[in-house]
Amino acid sequence: MNGEQAYIRWLRQRWVAHPRVLVGPGDDAAVLTWPSDRSVVVTTDMLMEGTCFVLAQAGARRVGRKALAVNLSDLAAMAARPVACVVSVALPQVGGRAVAEELYLGMEELSKAFDIPIVGGDTNSWSGPLVIAVTALGECGPRGPVRRRGAQAGDWLLLTGPLGGSLLGHHLTFTPRVREALTLVDLVRVHAMIDISDGLSTDLAHLCQESDCGACVEAALLPIRPEAEQFDDGRSPLEHALHDGEDFELLFAVSPEDGASLLADQPLQPLGVHLYRIGSCRSEKTLTLILPDGRSQPLVPRGYEHRLD
């Protein structure tokens, strides 16, 4: 028989015991130990075929990898350490077993790299497109969580990498900034943080709204991915960097002193990550873009938003 139970047997054969996991796959729920001084951080993200990826182009393995990676990026944005995850899938009935295995192998790659065991899930098949939903659990010690709120007027806005054009490939292969976030909160007090998923303009608006402040972004300082120049759609590389989204870099606010020291020391260089200052927070609750020629204009959030009529 080649159904759900055979797949679950395959999964359980791959299962490796983990010190935090009291009950792994194959029961009604998974059970984890939890250290006494740690809070539980929980986040979930769903990817749908045709909307978030094109299965024939991406391949199921990279889709599985991405499904876990976007959740790890959310944990990173809270400066949480990954602990465990669960995954629900709606698979195609024909060819579903092969898709399921590829999804799992893609997740497994990141699961090992970030020590976040896949402790359970729900495996379904249907006649619709592929859907995968991952929920990740993390833990915060005394230095976390870092929230979207907390940025103050005068804070510097720093970014962990260049933006724009991610849909040409980066969104399927990016490394979530988990280690970077944990390193940063060990070094400085991060006032507020968010990961760039919907686009810098939209995510900066979220951070400022929660922090009850505004911000200005200096276009000349903004690092832009080379891929942002590969479009012929009438939008400039700058516009792609501001609004594309799916970059999964961290945007965070620190005091100017801490910001200057981070820029000078570049403590994430051993991880291959360069820190950029892209602007500042201000008390006036608007978003402003300072163009390379010195003119300024409102920065309108134009990142991705799901339509709901």
**Measured distance CA(171)–CA(151) in Å, rounded:** 27
> Considering the complex, what minimum distance in angstroms separates the CB of residue 208 from a second copy?
14
List Cβ<8 Å contacts ≥24 apart for 18-26: 18/117, 20/83, 20/84, 20/117, 21/84, 21/117, 21/119, 23/119, 24/117, 24/119, 24/120, 25/118, 25/119, 25/120, 25/121
Of 63, 118, 123, 200, the residue at the interface with a second copy (CB under 8 A) is 123
Question: Interaction with a second copy in 183-242: which residues (CB under 8 A)?
Answer: 193-195, 210
Cβ-proximal residues to 236 (8 Å cutoff; 6+ apart), any chain: none
Applying CB under 8 A, the site for a second copy has a residue count of: 80
Considering only residues 94 through 113, tell me which ones interact with a second copy, judged by CB under 8 A.
Answer: 94-97, 100
14 or 265: whose CB is closer to a second copy?
Answer: 14
The residue within the footprint of a second copy, chosen from 14, 16, 27, 54 (CB under 8 A), is 27
Give whichever of 42 and 263 is closer to a second copy, judged by the CB atom. 42
> Do 201 and 301 meet the contact criterion of CB atoms below 8 Å apart?
yes
- Three-state SS string over 40-61 comes to EEEEEEEEEECCCECHHHHCHH
| Residue choice 63, 80, 158, 289 for contact with a second copy (CB under 8 A) | 80
CB 70 within 8 A of CB 114: no
Distance CA(99)–CA(87), nearest Å, equals 14
Nearer to a second copy, 80 or 151 (CB): 80
* Among 86, 196, 224, 228, contact with a second copy (rule: CB under 8 A): 86
Angle at which helix 96-113 crosses helix 60-77, to 10 degrees, equals 40
Closest CA to 252 of 308, 305, 191: 191
What's the min distance (Å) between Cβ of 257 and a second copy? 25
Residues 130-159 that bind a second copy (CB under 8 A): 131, 133, 135, 137-138, 140, 145, 147-149
Residue type, 131: V
Which of 15, 18, 25, 42 binds a second copy (CB under 8 A)? It is 42
**Which residue from 18, 25, 88, 236 is in contact with a second copy, where contact means CB under 8 A?**
88
Out of 15, 18, 38, 105, which residue is the one contacting a second copy (CB under 8 A)?
38
Strand partners, 33: none
For the CB of residue 294, give the shortest distance to a second copy in the complex, in Å: 32
Structural contact between residues 111 and 284, judged by C-beta atoms closer than 8 angstroms: no
- Range in contact with a second copy (rule: CB under 8 A) among 93-101, 169-177, 221-229, 269-277: 93-101
Among 74, 108, 227, 258, binds a second copy (CB under 8 A): 74
Residues 245-284 that bind a second copy (CB under 8 A): none
